[in-house]
Structure 1
């Protein structure tokens, strides 16, 4: 991907591998501990998948959480050092690959469910993930995305698609140089699913118990059995 912001995302994650791994494994991020980790695990398990592809798996926490209920879990991440952390902890198979090589990385394997948990930060790279989904899911397979809620994350900026400066969640200050991210409106997110030949099954808005505001948004979609193959 040629966009300089896409490269900045990878650079930031590479720089923050150790403090991020510590923050996740010690549950230092309130919104994750209180709301969003449980929300994504419950959403995945509600479909009882036998095989799961975790896109942007980071240090591998989600596949570890699913490992007792899922027969096969493959985690993929573009940050090699995060993949090393995931492999060391176990709970699934983990491969280093960029988002534009997901299909090649999967080596012809198709999954009952693919999940992207706060891992779709870019522009072109994310569009490529959606374009490849029909080749990564079995017919009728499910794609679940948890991301920042467009209404809550827009702030005072105009409600239009575009790159935004990043900010780390409330931790102990050890995370630095936050990655930029590409803001999408609700309509733009829905458009990604439709353009990818996916049937949107539902949208969930997990609420933060302290604020009563959405802590995230979850999109749940299905690969249509009669969907045309990707070009």
Structure 2
């Protein structure tokens, strides 16, 4: 447990150091997989739920929350990095809150929504487990959780296909990025088991394809809060 807590803290510290180049990369369209595949995939998945309200956990600089707000959805953004929260607010996201996943898991977000979305924001171990166990309380009855993350089969590389911490990398990003955060690898079986244990029924598993390679650019889970 102590190793998980320490490494989860390392993830947050790295994102705090890299907030400025991340904002520039997203707003400058520098990430090809996002332009080609994953941004549209998660936006379409959330809109398919026809939500009136959404909580975006790990909203970053706010692009997804703002895209939903432009379509008439009431959005609450949540992030633990002050610079990202400030950027989202400056871009027009009225309800953006500075909270860690640990704080959310402890009940510091007193609101509910029709959908909760986590877009490439579930990187850690213990903090992610605790957060997902708390998400049902953030959802209206029959509400939906949408999670987009790295596809385990694509992200595994040459390492063993087992859960565990992996070294991070900013390969393909600008030189402004430094000290890539570690991340916790989960198999498809582990992801589905975690959703089940957190009180969700998996309704859909999508694998958005990268048109350049014909391989999955991500995996996208849509899970309904269990009655």
Alignment correspondent of 2:34: 32
Question: 1:181-196 alignment to 2 at 5 Å?
Answer: 181-196=183-198
For 1:106, what is the secondary structure of its paired residue?
A: coil
Query: 2 CA distance for matches of 1:191 and 1:6?
Result: 21
Instruction: Mark the runs of 5 or more structure 1 residues left unpaired by the alignment.
Output: 227-231
1:6 aligns with 2:23: no
Question: Alignment partner for residue 141 of structure 1, among 143, 155, 158?
Answer: 143
For 1:144, what is the secondary structure of its paired residue?
A: strand
For 1:82, what is the secondary structure of its paired residue?
A: helix
- Structure 1 residues 154 and 15: alpha-carbon distance in aligned structure 2, compared to 1, 3 A threshold: same
User: TM-score by structure 1 length?
Assistant: 0.94
User: TM-score by structure 2 length?
Assistant: 0.95
8 Å Cα contact 1:207/1:214 also seen in 2: yes
Query: 1 CA distance for matches of 2:153 and 2:134?
Result: 27
User: What's the offset of the Cα at 1:169?
Assistant: 5.3
Alignment correspondent of 1:106: 109
The aligned length equals 224
For 1:160, what is the secondary structure of its paired residue?
A: coil
**Any idea what the Cα deviations from partners look like across 1:4-58, whole Å, max 9, x if unmatched?**
1111111111101110000000110000111000100000011110100000001
Q: CA RMSD in A?
A: 1.3
Alignment correspondent of 2:71: 69
Alignment correspondent of 1:154: 156
Query: 2 CA distance for matches of 1:196 and 1:88?
Result: 34
User: What's the offset of the Cα at 1:92?
Assistant: 4.0
Alignment correspondent of 2:91: 89
Query: 2 CA distance for matches of 1:127 and 1:70?
Result: 31
Query: 2 CA distance for matches of 1:4 and 1:137?
Result: 29
Instruction: Mark the runs of 5 or more structure 2 residues left unpaired by the alignment.
Output: none
Alignment correspondent of 2:134: 132
